Structure 1
Amino acid sequence: MNQAEEPKQSSQKDRLFVEAIGRAFRILETYSETAEPRSLAQLAAASGLDKSAAQRIAHTLRNLGYLEHKAGGYVPGSRVLDRTFDYLRANPLVGRAIPILTELRRNVMERVDMSLFEDLTLLYAVRLQSKRDSFYAHLIGRRIPTYCTAGGRAVMAFLSDEETRDILSRSDRKKLTPRTTTEIPKILDHVKRAREMGYATSLEQVYVGELAVAAALKDKDGRPFGAIHVAGSLGEWQLDDFERRVAPLVVAAATAISF
């Protein structure tokens, strides 16, 4: 489990917390670290449970459809997708955003994403693909770091300096590509520019060959809760040209979706 996904409650702090349910979700959350099947021993080690507890929980989750057993071990089951559907259907933001994002995708002819801000990470809730995307670029539910992404910079531009520094100090600021910015002063320079421009840019921060423009989604009090991203390829764009073409459209879409 990574630092952005630690439980918000524990039995030591909350007498209503059900440890058995918490342990079950710890099993499911181990798959955030790998796409490979996991044996019972691997599930136990990754979740911090003993093998007997992992076996009972895995058996229960398999019977309920939240785990499946394949060659090599257990993998997430299809029932997990049902809960994703429930979340997206119940979230009014998604319903309001889809027509606006679809129009943005039609205008820019590049990948369009909407992410939700969750402290150290942004979580993709909507992804409209482009003509050249990789498999992972299509998947909702993927998390990306706040510290080095265009969406993260756009969000931090509407936080206080103290909040931004807190996020950066707690982030695992590692290089995802040779060009990923990890130094706090340099990241703050990008955030400052985003404040001035009303949008943020990034260049090969998460993927080699990718550039992006993003604008923050804000609530009625001006607090950021997510971002709209448009991503393009260095094989087709220079960052300055991409920014001039895309930024006004991204800002307009974010303004239309914001509360």
Structure 2
Amino acid sequence: MTKASERNSDAREDALYVGSLEKGLRVLGAFGGGEQFKTLREIGQACGMDKSAAQRFTHTLVQLGYLEKCPDTKRFSLGKRVLELSFNYLRANTLIEAASPVLLDLQKATGQRVNLSLFDDTWIIYAIRQISKREYYYSSLIGRRMPVWCTSGGRIMLSHLPREEVNDILKRCTLKPLTPRTIHEPARIRARIAEAREKGYALTAEETVLGEQVVAGAILGPRGMPLAAVHIAGSLSEFTPNQFEKKFGPLAAETAHALSRHG
């Protein structure tokens, strides 16, 4: 059971918990697989609802603007109102506000892609993307989740947690390789986390995208807990991993340290 599932299970025992709200949010979450359109039946199956319940929730969300319904195909897609939630989150986050100009300057100085990710238990979520000339579509999108255990930002953030907490997170992760180069064995992951703890930054090479290498430093909160990470991503065609690490690793760590006061 994931931590989110455990939270949901605990919440259902709470007298203040609104189960119908959870179901409505589950309908929005049904679009997490990357498909733009879903039928009513597909939404019901993804959410564990019968057709009648799925119909009521989708109708309500369409009326509120969080879903849109194609009049010809009768299929549903996420509505533009969802973007408003993201905007409000980003606008109100003081760390993201402080980091945005810093990361823009960092991108200009390095010529590489620069990202900021947020720590979210078994995941990291990209909140800032300063792209370079060589990009693929996903690399320009904010809000993308990536596994905490195989990303440089995830590993450097894990390196600032107590070992018991790291072990608990890894136990709840699905350690499925994203590429042939992904390090997915628990012992090797722990070794890379320990290495990141010693160096002050983490390096990954082709573990999430073939041909790409990334270094990251951790942004810490007032009690030294990880909040976010600064990533610098580049191509293996331009640098060897050793060259890339020496050139950009300390810079990622320094930038993250400077931003920690805003956590």
Q: Compute the TM-score of the two structures, normalised by the length of structure 1.
A: 0.95
Q: Distance in 2 between matches of 1:100 and 1:124?
A: 16
Cα 1:3–1:72 shift into 2, 3 Å: farther
Tell me the residue number matched to 2:61. 61
CA deviations 1:4-62 (Å, max 9, x no partner) are 65483456321111112111100001111232311000000001111111111111111
Report percent identity of matched pairs: 41
1:24-103 maps to which residues of 2 (within 5 A)? 24-70=24-70, 71=73, 73-103=75-105
Q: Who is 2:131 aligned against? A: 129
Contact 1:127 1:139 in 2 (8 A): yes
User: Distance between the aligned counterparts of 1:72 and 1:244, measured in 2?
Assistant: 54
Larger mean CA deviation between 34-43 and 138-147 belongs to 34-43
Deviation of the 1:256 alpha carbon: 1.3
SS of 2:169 mapped into structure 1: helix
The one-letter amino acid of 2:68's match is E
Equivalent residue, structure 1, for 2:178: 176
Letter paired with 2:25: F
Cα 1:245–1:72 shift into 2, 3 Å: farther
SS of the residue 2:59 aligns to? helix
Q: Is the 8 A contact 1:67 1:76 kept in 2?
A: yes
Any conservation in 2 of the 1:37–1:72 contact (CA below 8 Å)?
no
Runs of 4+ in structure 1 over 6 Å off: none
- Equivalent position to 2:252, from 245, 250, 253: 250
Distance 1:4 1:227 in 2: 21
CA contact (8 A) 2:12 2:19 kept: no
Deviations 1:143-164 (A, max 9, x none): 0001111011101111122111
Q: Paired residue for 2:16? A: 16
Q: State the distance in 1 between where 2:59 and 2:102 align.
A: 43
Q: Indicate conservation of the 8 Å contact 2:38/2:76, yes or no.
A: yes
Q: Which residue of the partner structure matches residue 214 of structure 2?
A: 212
Could you list the runs of 5+ residues in structure 1 that have no partner in the other structure? none
1:190-209 matches, within 5 Å, as 190-209=192-211
Partners of 1:158 and 1:139 in 2: CA distance: 27
- Give the alignment of 1:134-173 within 5 angstroms: 134-173=136-175
* Alpha-carbon distance between aligned partners in 2 of 1:49 and 1:7, rounded to the nearest angstrom: 20
Contiguous gaps of at least 5 residues in structure 2:
none
Cα distance in 2 between the residues matched to 1:36 and 1:17: 30
The change in CA–CA distance for 1:190 and 1:254 in structure 2 (over 3 A counts) is: same
Equivalent residue letter for 2:49: L
Between the two proteins, the alignment pairs up a number of residues equal to 258
2:233 aligned counterpart, secondary structure: strand
In the TM superposition, residue 72 of structure 1 has moved relative to its aligned partner by 6.7
Q: CA deviation at 1:3?
A: 4.2
TM-score where L is the length of structure 2 = 0.94
Is 1:120 aligned to residue 114 of structure 2? no
1: distance between equivalents of 2:248 and 2:238?
Answer: 14
Q: What displacement does 1:188 show?
A: 1.0
CA contact (8 A) 1:9 1:17 kept: no
